[in-house]
Amino acid sequence: MKKTPLYDQHVALEAKIVPFAGFEMPVQYQGVLKEHLAVRDDVGVFDVSHMGEFFVRGPKAIPFLQTVFSNDLSTLKLGQAQYGYMPNNNGGIVDDLIIYKLKEDEYMLVVNGANISKDWNWLTTNNVPFGAILENVSDDLGLLALQGPNATNILQQLTESKVSEIPFYQFEFGTVCHISDVLISATGYTGSGGFELYVKNKDLTKLWETLIGMGVTPCGLASRDTLRLEMGYCLYGNDIDETTSPIEAGLGWCTKFSKPFINSDNLKDEKENGTQQKRVGFILNDRGIPRKGYPILDADGNKIGHVSSGTQSPSLGKGIGMGYVNREHSKKGTEIHIEIRNKAIQATVSSLPFYKS
Protein backbone atom coordinates (compact mmCIF):
# COMPACT_ATOMS: atom_id res chain seq x y z
CA MET A 1 0.00 0.00 0.00
CA LYS A 2 1.24 3.47 -0.88
CA LYS A 3 1.02 6.46 1.44
CA THR A 4 0.54 10.11 0.55
CA PRO A 5 3.12 12.62 1.90
CA LEU A 6 0.56 13.56 4.59
CA TYR A 7 0.19 10.08 6.10
CA ASP A 8 1.95 11.04 9.35
CA GLN A 9 -0.23 14.15 9.66
CA HIS A 10 -3.38 12.03 9.32
CA VAL A 11 -2.17 9.64 12.00
CA ALA A 12 -1.33 12.56 14.31
CA LEU A 13 -4.90 13.83 13.88
CA GLU A 14 -6.15 10.35 14.88
CA ALA A 15 -7.75 9.68 11.52
CA LYS A 16 -9.18 6.25 10.82
CA ILE A 17 -6.97 4.88 8.03
CA VAL A 18 -8.32 2.46 5.40
CA PRO A 19 -7.03 1.00 2.12
CA PHE A 20 -8.30 2.96 -0.88
CA ALA A 21 -7.08 2.98 -4.50
CA GLY A 22 -3.85 1.33 -3.45
CA PHE A 23 -3.17 3.93 -0.75
CA GLU A 24 -3.59 4.09 3.01
CA MET A 25 -6.07 6.96 3.24
CA PRO A 26 -8.02 8.75 6.01
CA VAL A 27 -11.68 7.76 5.90
CA GLN A 28 -12.69 10.10 8.75
CA TYR A 29 -11.28 12.16 11.63
CA GLN A 30 -14.05 13.39 13.94
CA GLY A 31 -16.96 11.76 12.18
CA VAL A 32 -18.70 11.84 8.81
CA LEU A 33 -21.53 14.14 9.91
CA LYS A 34 -19.22 16.81 11.34
CA GLU A 35 -16.94 16.76 8.31
CA HIS A 36 -19.81 16.74 5.83
CA LEU A 37 -21.54 19.73 7.45
CA ALA A 38 -18.24 21.62 7.76
CA VAL A 39 -17.98 21.57 3.96
CA ARG A 40 -21.64 22.45 3.42
CA ASP A 41 -21.66 25.31 5.96
CA ASP A 42 -18.04 26.47 6.39
CA VAL A 43 -14.84 24.92 4.99
CA GLY A 44 -13.01 21.60 4.99
CA VAL A 45 -9.85 20.22 3.42
CA PHE A 46 -9.26 16.80 1.86
CA ASP A 47 -5.97 15.12 1.05
CA VAL A 48 -6.60 13.71 -2.42
CA SER A 49 -2.95 13.22 -3.35
CA HIS A 50 -3.74 9.66 -4.43
CA MET A 51 -5.11 11.09 -7.68
CA GLY A 52 -2.97 10.69 -10.79
CA GLU A 53 -1.56 13.43 -13.02
CA PHE A 54 -0.25 13.07 -16.56
CA PHE A 55 1.23 15.76 -18.80
CA VAL A 56 0.60 15.60 -22.55
CA ARG A 57 2.72 17.95 -24.65
CA GLY A 58 3.74 18.81 -28.18
CA PRO A 59 2.09 19.49 -31.56
CA LYS A 60 0.42 16.06 -31.50
CA ALA A 61 -1.15 16.59 -28.07
CA ILE A 62 -4.52 17.82 -29.34
CA PRO A 63 -4.97 15.28 -32.18
CA PHE A 64 -4.15 12.51 -29.69
CA LEU A 65 -6.34 13.74 -26.83
CA GLN A 66 -9.31 14.43 -29.09
CA THR A 67 -9.21 10.74 -30.06
CA VAL A 68 -9.19 9.33 -26.52
CA PHE A 69 -11.39 11.93 -24.78
CA SER A 70 -15.17 12.28 -25.00
CA ASN A 71 -15.38 16.06 -24.67
CA ASP A 72 -14.19 18.60 -27.24
CA LEU A 73 -10.88 20.16 -26.22
CA SER A 74 -10.90 22.51 -29.21
CA THR A 75 -13.25 24.75 -27.22
CA LEU A 76 -10.83 24.94 -24.26
CA LYS A 77 -8.92 28.18 -23.69
CA LEU A 78 -5.74 28.71 -21.68
CA GLY A 79 -6.54 28.55 -17.97
CA GLN A 80 -9.66 26.43 -18.44
CA ALA A 81 -10.42 22.85 -17.40
CA GLN A 82 -12.87 20.34 -18.85
CA TYR A 83 -14.55 17.21 -17.47
CA GLY A 84 -15.10 14.12 -19.56
CA TYR A 85 -14.21 10.46 -19.85
CA MET A 86 -12.08 8.07 -21.88
CA PRO A 87 -14.31 5.55 -23.68
CA ASN A 88 -13.09 2.01 -24.32
CA ASN A 89 -13.69 -0.02 -27.45
CA ASN A 90 -16.55 -2.02 -25.96
CA GLY A 91 -19.03 0.72 -25.04
CA GLY A 92 -17.72 1.27 -21.50
CA ILE A 93 -15.54 3.80 -19.70
CA VAL A 94 -11.80 3.53 -19.06
CA ASP A 95 -11.95 6.42 -16.56
CA ASP A 96 -13.50 9.82 -15.97
CA LEU A 97 -11.10 12.73 -15.62
CA ILE A 98 -10.43 16.46 -15.83
CA ILE A 99 -8.11 17.97 -18.44
CA TYR A 100 -6.38 21.33 -17.85
CA LYS A 101 -5.04 23.45 -20.69
CA LEU A 102 -1.71 24.73 -19.33
CA LYS A 103 -0.24 26.07 -22.61
CA GLU A 104 -1.17 25.98 -26.27
CA ASP A 105 0.50 22.59 -26.64
CA GLU A 106 0.51 21.33 -23.04
CA TYR A 107 -2.27 19.67 -21.04
CA MET A 108 -2.57 18.05 -17.62
CA LEU A 109 -4.85 15.05 -17.15
CA VAL A 110 -6.10 14.29 -13.62
CA VAL A 111 -7.27 10.69 -13.28
CA ASN A 112 -8.62 8.49 -10.50
CA GLY A 113 -6.00 7.07 -8.16
CA ALA A 114 -7.14 3.47 -8.57
CA ASN A 115 -6.77 3.75 -12.35
CA ILE A 116 -3.34 5.37 -12.69
CA SER A 117 -1.56 2.30 -14.14
CA LYS A 118 -4.50 1.26 -16.29
CA ASP A 119 -4.98 4.78 -17.68
CA TRP A 120 -1.28 5.23 -18.36
CA ASN A 121 -1.16 1.97 -20.32
CA TRP A 122 -4.29 2.92 -22.25
CA LEU A 123 -2.89 6.33 -23.17
CA THR A 124 0.58 5.14 -24.15
CA THR A 125 -0.91 2.38 -26.32
CA ASN A 126 -3.28 4.72 -28.14
CA ASN A 127 -0.56 7.37 -28.52
CA VAL A 128 1.57 5.17 -30.81
CA PRO A 129 0.13 6.57 -34.09
CA PHE A 130 0.42 10.16 -32.82
CA GLY A 131 3.68 10.48 -30.90
CA ALA A 132 2.58 13.08 -28.37
CA ILE A 133 4.95 13.58 -25.41
CA LEU A 134 3.54 11.89 -22.28
CA GLU A 135 4.83 12.23 -18.73
CA ASN A 136 3.45 10.58 -15.59
CA VAL A 137 3.99 12.97 -12.65
CA SER A 138 1.61 11.23 -10.24
CA ASP A 139 4.39 10.52 -7.72
CA ASP A 140 5.62 14.12 -7.74
CA LEU A 141 2.42 16.15 -7.24
CA GLY A 142 0.21 16.47 -4.18
CA LEU A 143 -3.40 17.65 -4.22
CA LEU A 144 -5.53 19.30 -1.55
CA ALA A 145 -9.24 20.01 -2.03
CA LEU A 146 -10.24 23.09 -0.01
CA GLN A 147 -14.04 23.00 -0.15
CA GLY A 148 -16.96 24.95 1.25
CA PRO A 149 -18.50 28.45 1.22
CA ASN A 150 -15.67 29.85 3.37
CA ALA A 151 -12.89 28.40 1.17
CA THR A 152 -12.38 31.65 -0.75
CA ASN A 153 -11.92 33.68 2.43
CA ILE A 154 -9.41 31.19 3.86
CA LEU A 155 -7.39 30.85 0.66
CA GLN A 156 -7.30 34.61 0.06
CA GLN A 157 -5.41 35.04 3.34
CA LEU A 158 -2.58 32.89 1.95
CA THR A 159 -2.14 34.31 -1.54
CA GLU A 160 -2.04 37.53 -3.54
CA SER A 161 -3.94 35.88 -6.35
CA LYS A 162 -7.51 37.17 -6.56
CA VAL A 163 -9.09 33.78 -6.02
CA SER A 164 -12.65 35.12 -5.87
CA GLU A 165 -12.23 36.13 -9.52
CA ILE A 166 -11.31 32.64 -10.76
CA PRO A 167 -14.43 31.33 -12.54
CA PHE A 168 -15.73 27.80 -12.06
CA TYR A 169 -13.61 25.24 -13.93
CA GLN A 170 -10.83 27.75 -14.52
CA PHE A 171 -7.43 28.04 -12.86
CA GLU A 172 -4.26 30.05 -12.51
CA PHE A 173 -0.79 29.58 -11.09
CA GLY A 174 0.10 31.56 -7.98
CA THR A 175 2.04 31.67 -4.74
CA VAL A 176 0.14 30.19 -1.80
CA CYS A 177 1.55 30.14 1.73
CA HIS A 178 4.91 31.28 0.26
CA ILE A 179 4.88 28.22 -2.03
CA SER A 180 5.41 29.19 -5.66
CA ASP A 181 3.81 27.68 -8.77
CA VAL A 182 0.70 26.33 -7.05
CA LEU A 183 -2.04 25.47 -9.53
CA ILE A 184 -5.17 27.06 -8.03
CA SER A 185 -8.22 25.46 -9.61
CA ALA A 186 -11.83 26.49 -8.99
CA THR A 187 -12.99 22.89 -9.08
CA GLY A 188 -14.05 20.21 -6.61
CA TYR A 189 -16.37 17.26 -6.17
CA THR A 190 -18.53 18.43 -3.28
CA GLY A 191 -21.03 20.90 -4.73
CA SER A 192 -20.21 23.54 -2.12
CA GLY A 193 -17.60 25.52 -4.03
CA GLY A 194 -13.93 25.88 -3.29
CA PHE A 195 -10.58 25.08 -4.85
CA GLU A 196 -8.22 22.26 -5.66
CA LEU A 197 -4.57 23.07 -5.02
CA TYR A 198 -1.84 21.18 -6.88
CA VAL A 199 1.57 21.46 -5.22
CA LYS A 200 4.86 19.58 -5.27
CA ASN A 201 5.02 16.81 -2.68
CA LYS A 202 7.77 18.58 -0.76
CA ASP A 203 5.47 21.55 -0.11
CA LEU A 204 2.33 19.59 0.74
CA THR A 205 2.87 19.30 4.50
CA LYS A 206 3.46 23.05 4.89
CA LEU A 207 0.22 23.90 3.11
CA TRP A 208 -1.80 21.25 4.97
CA GLU A 209 -0.55 22.28 8.41
CA THR A 210 -1.16 25.96 7.66
CA LEU A 211 -4.79 25.26 6.70
CA ILE A 212 -5.38 23.04 9.75
CA GLY A 213 -3.81 25.75 11.93
CA MET A 214 -6.33 28.25 10.53
CA GLY A 215 -9.17 26.09 11.81
CA VAL A 216 -10.05 24.34 8.56
CA THR A 217 -11.74 20.99 9.28
CA PRO A 218 -9.79 17.96 8.03
CA CYS A 219 -12.13 15.71 6.06
CA GLY A 220 -11.85 12.07 5.00
CA LEU A 221 -13.06 9.87 2.20
CA ALA A 222 -16.38 9.05 3.89
CA SER A 223 -17.62 12.65 3.87
CA ARG A 224 -16.21 13.14 0.37
CA ASP A 225 -18.47 10.27 -0.70
CA THR A 226 -21.62 11.60 0.99
CA LEU A 227 -20.97 15.08 -0.43
CA ARG A 228 -20.51 13.89 -4.02
CA LEU A 229 -23.51 11.56 -3.75
CA GLU A 230 -25.79 14.39 -2.61
CA MET A 231 -24.76 16.14 -5.85
CA GLY A 232 -25.41 13.08 -8.00
CA TYR A 233 -21.76 12.89 -9.13
CA CYS A 234 -20.50 9.55 -10.41
CA LEU A 235 -17.82 7.59 -8.57
CA TYR A 236 -15.68 5.38 -10.78
CA GLY A 237 -15.94 1.76 -9.68
CA ASN A 238 -19.45 2.32 -8.33
CA ASP A 239 -21.57 4.28 -10.78
CA ILE A 240 -19.38 3.92 -13.86
CA ASP A 241 -16.78 1.37 -14.97
CA GLU A 242 -15.44 -0.56 -17.97
CA THR A 243 -18.87 -2.10 -18.63
CA THR A 244 -21.01 1.03 -18.15
CA SER A 245 -22.44 2.88 -21.13
CA PRO A 246 -21.70 6.59 -20.65
CA ILE A 247 -25.02 7.37 -22.29
CA GLU A 248 -26.88 5.19 -19.77
CA ALA A 249 -24.83 6.91 -17.04
CA GLY A 250 -26.11 10.34 -18.07
CA LEU A 251 -22.77 11.54 -19.42
CA GLY A 252 -24.15 12.54 -22.80
CA TRP A 253 -23.58 16.20 -21.86
CA CYS A 254 -19.79 15.69 -22.00
CA THR A 255 -19.92 13.45 -25.08
CA LYS A 256 -19.26 15.66 -28.11
CA PHE A 257 -19.74 14.19 -31.55
CA SER A 258 -18.28 17.27 -33.25
CA LYS A 259 -15.11 15.17 -33.71
CA PRO A 260 -14.43 11.42 -33.93
CA PHE A 261 -13.12 9.58 -30.88
CA ILE A 262 -12.82 5.97 -29.73
CA ASN A 263 -16.18 4.17 -30.14
CA SER A 264 -17.94 7.46 -30.97
CA ASP A 265 -20.09 5.92 -33.72
CA ASN A 266 -21.64 3.37 -31.35
CA LEU A 267 -22.14 5.95 -28.60
CA LYS A 268 -23.79 8.31 -31.08
CA ASP A 269 -26.19 5.54 -32.06
CA GLU A 270 -27.03 4.97 -28.37
CA LYS A 271 -27.67 8.65 -27.82
CA GLU A 272 -29.93 8.94 -30.87
CA ASN A 273 -31.88 5.71 -30.34
CA GLY A 274 -31.93 5.51 -26.55
CA THR A 275 -30.68 2.87 -24.14
CA GLN A 276 -32.43 0.11 -22.20
CA GLN A 277 -31.28 1.40 -18.82
CA LYS A 278 -30.69 4.79 -17.25
CA ARG A 279 -28.90 6.04 -14.15
CA VAL A 280 -31.37 7.68 -11.75
CA GLY A 281 -31.40 9.15 -8.29
CA PHE A 282 -33.88 8.04 -5.66
CA ILE A 283 -34.94 8.98 -2.13
CA LEU A 284 -36.20 6.40 0.36
CA ASN A 285 -39.68 7.06 1.74
CA ASP A 286 -39.06 4.89 4.81
CA ARG A 287 -36.07 4.28 7.06
CA GLY A 288 -33.12 2.45 5.56
CA ILE A 289 -29.74 2.93 3.93
CA PRO A 290 -29.31 1.74 0.35
CA ARG A 291 -25.94 0.21 -0.53
CA LYS A 292 -24.11 -0.69 -3.73
CA GLY A 293 -25.47 -3.85 -5.31
CA TYR A 294 -28.88 -3.85 -3.63
CA PRO A 295 -31.67 -4.87 -6.04
CA ILE A 296 -34.15 -2.26 -7.26
CA LEU A 297 -37.71 -3.60 -7.65
CA ASP A 298 -40.95 -2.41 -9.21
CA ALA A 299 -44.23 -2.24 -7.28
CA ASP A 300 -44.87 -5.94 -8.04
CA GLY A 301 -41.50 -7.08 -6.70
CA ASN A 302 -39.85 -7.63 -10.09
CA LYS A 303 -36.18 -6.70 -10.31
CA ILE A 304 -35.73 -3.69 -12.59
CA GLY A 305 -32.19 -2.64 -11.72
CA HIS A 306 -29.55 -2.25 -9.02
CA VAL A 307 -28.14 0.38 -6.67
CA SER A 308 -24.73 1.75 -7.68
CA SER A 309 -24.23 4.15 -4.73
CA GLY A 310 -26.20 4.88 -1.57
CA THR A 311 -25.96 6.54 1.83
CA GLN A 312 -27.83 8.30 4.61
CA SER A 313 -27.81 11.93 3.46
CA PRO A 314 -26.52 14.24 6.24
CA SER A 315 -28.13 17.26 4.55
CA LEU A 316 -31.54 15.69 3.88
CA GLY A 317 -31.72 13.28 6.80
CA LYS A 318 -32.95 10.55 4.46
CA GLY A 319 -31.59 7.53 2.65
CA ILE A 320 -30.57 8.47 -0.90
CA GLY A 321 -28.93 6.63 -3.74
CA MET A 322 -28.27 6.24 -7.41
CA GLY A 323 -28.75 3.21 -9.56
CA TYR A 324 -29.59 1.84 -12.97
CA VAL A 325 -33.18 0.96 -13.84
CA ASN A 326 -35.09 0.00 -16.96
CA ARG A 327 -35.89 3.15 -18.89
CA GLU A 328 -39.66 2.82 -18.35
CA HIS A 329 -39.07 3.21 -14.60
CA SER A 330 -36.68 6.16 -14.83
CA LYS A 331 -39.15 9.06 -14.84
CA LYS A 332 -39.04 11.45 -11.90
CA GLY A 333 -41.72 10.60 -9.33
CA THR A 334 -41.85 6.90 -10.24
CA GLU A 335 -42.38 4.63 -7.24
CA ILE A 336 -39.72 1.95 -6.88
CA HIS A 337 -38.50 -0.30 -4.07
CA ILE A 338 -35.01 -1.01 -2.76
CA GLU A 339 -34.44 -4.48 -1.36
CA ILE A 340 -32.64 -4.00 1.97
CA ARG A 341 -32.04 -7.15 4.04
CA ASN A 342 -34.82 -9.02 2.23
CA LYS A 343 -37.29 -6.20 2.83
CA ALA A 344 -38.65 -3.97 0.05
CA ILE A 345 -38.32 -0.32 1.11
CA GLN A 346 -40.38 2.15 -0.90
CA ALA A 347 -38.49 4.92 -2.70
CA THR A 348 -39.19 7.61 -5.27
CA VAL A 349 -37.15 8.43 -8.35
CA SER A 350 -35.72 11.92 -7.84
CA SER A 351 -34.08 14.56 -9.96
CA LEU A 352 -30.37 15.25 -9.40
CA PRO A 353 -28.74 16.79 -7.51
CA PHE A 354 -30.40 15.82 -4.23
CA TYR A 355 -28.81 18.79 -2.45
CA LYS A 356 -29.38 22.33 -3.64
CA SER A 357 -27.43 25.07 -1.92
Domain ranges of the chain: 2-49+139-230, 52-124, 276-350
Helix 32-41, helix 221-230: angle, nearest 10: 50
In terms of Cβ atoms closer than 10 Å to its own Cβ (0-12, 13-18, 19+), residue 213 is exposed
pLDDT computed for residue 348 by the predictor:
98
- Split the chain (357 residues) into runs of 10 and give each run's mean pLDDT: 97 97 96 98 98 98 98 98 98 98 98 98 98 98 98 98 98 98 98 98 98 98 98 98 98 98 98 96 97 96 98 97 97 97 96 94
Fold of 276-350: Elongation Factor Tu (Ef-tu); domain 3 (2.40.30)
CATH superfamily of 2-49+139-230: Probable tRNA modification gtpase trme; domain 1 (3.30.1360.120)
In terms of Cβ atoms closer than 10 Å to its own Cβ (0-12, 13-18, 19+), residue 259 is middle
Give 112-133 as a DSSP string.
Answer: -GGGHHHHHHHHHHHTTTT--E
Q: What is the CA radius of gyration of the chain?
A: 21
Side-chain-side CA neighbours of residue 236 (13 Å)? 22
DSSP 254: G
Class of domain 52-124: alpha beta
What is the rounded distance in angstroms from the CA atom of residue 66 to the CA atom of residue 83?
13
* Reported pTM: 0.96
pLDDT computed for residue 283 by the predictor:
98
pLDDT computed for residue 357 by the predictor:
81
In terms of Cβ atoms closer than 10 Å to its own Cβ (0-12, 13-18, 19+), residue 205 is middle
